[in-house]
Structure 1
Amino acid sequence: MAAALCALAFLFPPPAHAERVRDLGQFQGVRTNQLTGYGVVVGLPGSGDDNLEYLTQAMKGVSGRMGLTLPPGIAPGLKNAAAVIVTADLPAFAKPGQRIDVTVSTIGKAKSLRGGALVMTPLYGADGQIYAMAQGNLAVGGLDASGKDGSKVTVNIPTVGRIADGGSVERAVATGFDSGETLRWNLFEADFLTAARVRDAINRRIPGLASVEDGVTLALHLPADADARANTMAMIEMIEVSPAETPARVIVNSRTGTVVINSAVRLSPAAISHGKLTVRIDENPTVVQPAPLSRGKTAVEQNSTVTTDEEKRSVALFKGGASLARVVDALNMLGVTPSDLVAILEALKQAGALKAEMVVI
């Protein structure tokens, strides 16, 4: 019975893993947008910036908005304030009045933002327009403390804080969702086979709806009505597609020695022998004394011992089309370290036996 089940499993292999369309790509224009602003954090307990020129000008600008004009030539004490950069992500379809989270980071010599409050700061998009306003009390996860003798302790990063719902959206970003007859959908990674499979899966639901423009983009001919268009997009996102197998890649992290080999890597016939040769030189100098009543001088006689030790390793033979599991088992049998593994993979690549792209990060 078991043999029959194994035969059936061989004849009818399990289907390829399917992914939802929403996990393979996204609709063009339906994305987040980055916002940035320059502001001032006040209320710090003496952990702010020094009298920096850009912070002085920022404080004068804040005071001017409040109707207070500082006397010319007088720089305010700024130890209780810090110049900061404020960043935020504006979600797709965000409407005026909605709240977003903001991150506040120092740009000067401020030691900590703990206990500070961000003064109202405009947040700009890439086009130079104001899309949100940020203000509020900071939540800082770091801690900084120092003693009079110069000792100092820092926990996490006290110069970066976050304000939950600290930004208010003032302008919506046009996404192109409700304009034009054609809406484009883009793959996260270019692949002609995956794009064709997504097109076929969509057209099986609604014939003629999708067409491939290139290895990344599909053109979708959606209805003009916003409600019908949204329903069609929701249906498309939940369609399951079996993506194409990823290209064969070997990823090498040169800083940590990490090596990652994906399942698409195959080897042509090759034999690998990896050994380790150790050369050891021991120096045992001997002091030679002259004979009594002689005019000789004390000397040092060099005595060197050179030994070699070569580990004997077996030879691993790979047949054509060896899989990842076979490669890993054979290299483990050779007892290679991560650095040795990189050298072996590079040699296989040069020999033409490794059919994969090597990426060094």
Structure 2
Amino acid sequence: MLGRLLLSAILILGAGPGLAEVRIKDIVQFEGVRPNQLIGYGLVVGLNGTGDSMRNSPFTRSSVEGMLERLGVGNLSDEDISTANAAAVMVTAELPAFGRPGMTIDVVVSSLGDASSLHGGTLLVTPLVGADNKIYAVSQGPLAVGGFAAEGAKASVTSGVPTVARIENGATIEREIEFELGSLTTIRLALRNPDFTTASRIAEAINTAPVAAHARMLDPTTVELSFDAKAGIAETIAKLENLTVEPDSPARVVVDSKTGTIVIGADVRIDEVAISQGGLTVSVSEGAAVSQPEPFSIGETVVVPRTEIGVETKDSGFAVMGGQVSLRELVDGLNAIGVGAREIISILQAIKAAGALHADLEVI
């Protein structure tokens, strides 16, 4: 039954009449239009005894000392800084493409020391730097923690990850990436799934559309756009990114052996093969019998182990599939011999080994 349901799902996923047309913006990335990763080191305060222990986290103690010195509080000993209400954290964020100063972005705050929870904490001012070590944003604010942790004398419970938190709109952009889109005369489109046919169709769709740009396929990953001198690049991109094309891809069968999930592409073809799926099932059951001596005799009661073994042979016969079998015929044939998901994986691997499967078989 499981095999039939799974194969029905496969039929729905891959047996349609070809791939649907999609927008160019959904299958390519425009050169320069991309986010950039930011990172910073900060301090969270206001924790209710769930922060870093100063003995085991010397970097937290140094951060607290440095913060207090900048605020005019100095000459503190190690005994004076014994709080468990602070935690050292790493702050990460993504600077979006064309992010302008004054815009806000979300940040993720992750504990660096041995804090048990960041619940109720507040992140102090934390500069966020890029790969060039320049400050692009500054973050600060109260944390929103999804998990929780509770601990008693003899038991504890933890749900989620209480040492990771988010701050919605928690960082303000202070610097923008220097990229002038309007000064470009050419721009490249990078396909998310490289393919010669798809790249050619994208170039053809752009060249036949009423836009002030010319497209040229450079390789299966890249299509180069050339703009007219007087054309507005941003306006032209807005028009061409909504053009639709029918993407192409190699025939592929993806198998997840851990869960028994199988996805078969619509272009998969199989040469004429005969498939037989059978197996031997051996069942072993253990029991015990009690042996007692005859009345008025000398003897002991003995427990005697008892083992029962049953053997069941299953033979589904052969299912013959004609030359160049389509996905629908493959599904119908496997359904006909009543195989399950695990058996289908073995059958597909055997067909591939026999050279009859004209597709990439990817096992994950």
Fold similarity call, TM over 0.5: yes
Pairing of 1:266-345 with structure 2 (within 5 A): 266-280=269-283, 307-345=310-348
Instruction: Work out whether residues 44 and 114 of structure 1, in 8 Å CA contact, stay in contact via their aligned partners in 2.
Output: yes
Match of 1:173 in 2: 177
For the residues of structure 1 that align with 2:71 and 2:363, how far apart are their CA atoms? 54
Q: Classify the secondary structure of the residue corresponding to 1:313.
A: strand
Deviation (angstroms), 1:49: 1.2
> Which position in structure 2 is the counterpart of 1:118?
123
- Which residue identity lines up with residue 175 of structure 1 in the other structure? F
Give 1:252's aligned residue: 255
Please give the alpha-carbon distance, in whole angstroms, between the structure 2 residues aligned to 1:140 and 1:129: 29
- Does the aligned pair in 2 maintain the 1:178–1:224 contact within 8 Å? no
- Name 2:4's counterpart in structure 1: none
In structure 1, C-alpha distance between the alignment counterparts of 2:307 and 2:146, rounded to whole Å: 59
Deviation at 1:201, TM superposition (A): 1.1
Q: In the alignment, is the contact (CA less than 8 A) between 1:19 and 1:241 conserved in 2?
A: yes
| Matching of residue 349 in structure 1 with residue 341 in structure 2 | no
CA deviations 1:1-38 (Å, max 9, x no partner) are xxxxxxxxxxxxx8962211111102111011111111
The structure whose residues are more often strand, as a share, is 2
| Preserved CA contact (<8 Å) 2:254 2:363 | yes
1:234 partner letter: A
Aligned pair partner of 2:196 in 192, 198, 201:
192
Give runs of aligned pairs for residues 10-49 of structure 1, distance below 5 A: 17-49=20-52
**Counterparts in 2 of 1:312 and 1:130: CA distance versus 1, 3 Å:** same
> Is the contact between residue 30 and residue 175 of structure 1 (CA under 8 Å) also seen in structure 2?
no
| Contact 1:177 1:183 (C-alpha < 8 Å) held by counterparts | no
Looking at structure 2, the residues matched to 261 and 44 of structure 1 have their Cα atoms a distance apart, in angstroms, of 51
1:157 and 1:163 mapped to 2: Cα distance? Answer: 15
Alignment root-mean-square deviation, CA: 2.9
Give me the whole-angstrom Cα distance separating, in 2, the residues matched to 1:155 and 1:288. Answer: 54
Structure-2 change in CA distance of 1:144 and 1:305 (3 Å): closer
Structure 1 residues 268, 27: CA separation in 2 closer, same or farther (over 3 Å shift)? same
| Count of aligned residue pairs for this structure pair | 345
CA 1:215–1:297: 2 relative to 1, 3 Å? same
Closer, same or farther: CA 306–100 of 1 in aligned 2, 3 Å: closer
Give 1:70 shift.
Answer: 4.6
- Structure 2 matches for 1:71-86, cutoff 5 A? 71=76, 76-86=81-91
Q: Which has the higher contact order (CA 8 A, sep 6+)?
A: 2
Contact kept? 1:281, 1:306, Cα under 8 Å: yes
Deviation at 1:232, TM superposition (A): 0.8
Deviating more after overlay: 98-107 vs 149-158:
149-158
Other-structure match for 1:89:
94
Q: Look up the equivalent residue of 1:350 and give its one-letter code.
A: A
Q: What letter matches 1:114 in structure 2?
A: H
Looking at structure 2, the residues matched to 109 and 303 of structure 1 have their Cα atoms a distance apart, in angstroms, of 55
Bigger CA drift: 67-76 or 125-134?
Answer: 67-76
Alpha-carbon distance in 1 for matches of 2:285, 2:46: 66
The 1:65/1:358 distance shift into structure 2, 3 A limit, reads farther
Which residue matches 1:57? 62
Identity %: 44
Q: 1:32 to 1:224 in 2, by over 3 A?
A: farther
1:97–1:144 Cα change, 3 Å:
same
2:115–2:163 contact (8 Å) kept in structure 1: yes
Alpha-carbon separation, structure 2, partners of 1:349 and 1:337:
18
1:314 deviation in Å?
2.8
Equivalent AA in structure 2 for residue 96 of structure 1: P
1:208, distance to aligned residue in structure 2 (A): 6.5
Unaligned runs of 5+ in 1: 1-13
State the 1:300 CA deviation.
Answer: 10
Compared CA separation, residues 139 and 15, structure 1 to 2 (3 A): closer
Q: Which residue of 1 aligns with 2:133?
A: 128
| Residue 241 in structure 1 maps to residue 245 in structure 2 | yes
DSSP-derived class of the 2:269 partner: coil
Q: Deviations over 1:41-63 (max 9, x none)?
A: 10011111111112112222322
- Report if aligned partners of 1:42, 1:118 keep a CA contact under 8 Å in 2: yes
Corresponding residue number in structure 2 for 1:146: 151
- 1:52-85 per-position Cα deviation (integer Å, ceiling 9, x unaligned): 1121122223223323335365572241011111
In 2, Cα distance between the equivalents of 1:33 and 1:351? Answer: 47
In structure 2, relative to structure 1, the CA distance for the partners of 1:24 and 1:170 (3 Å cut) is same
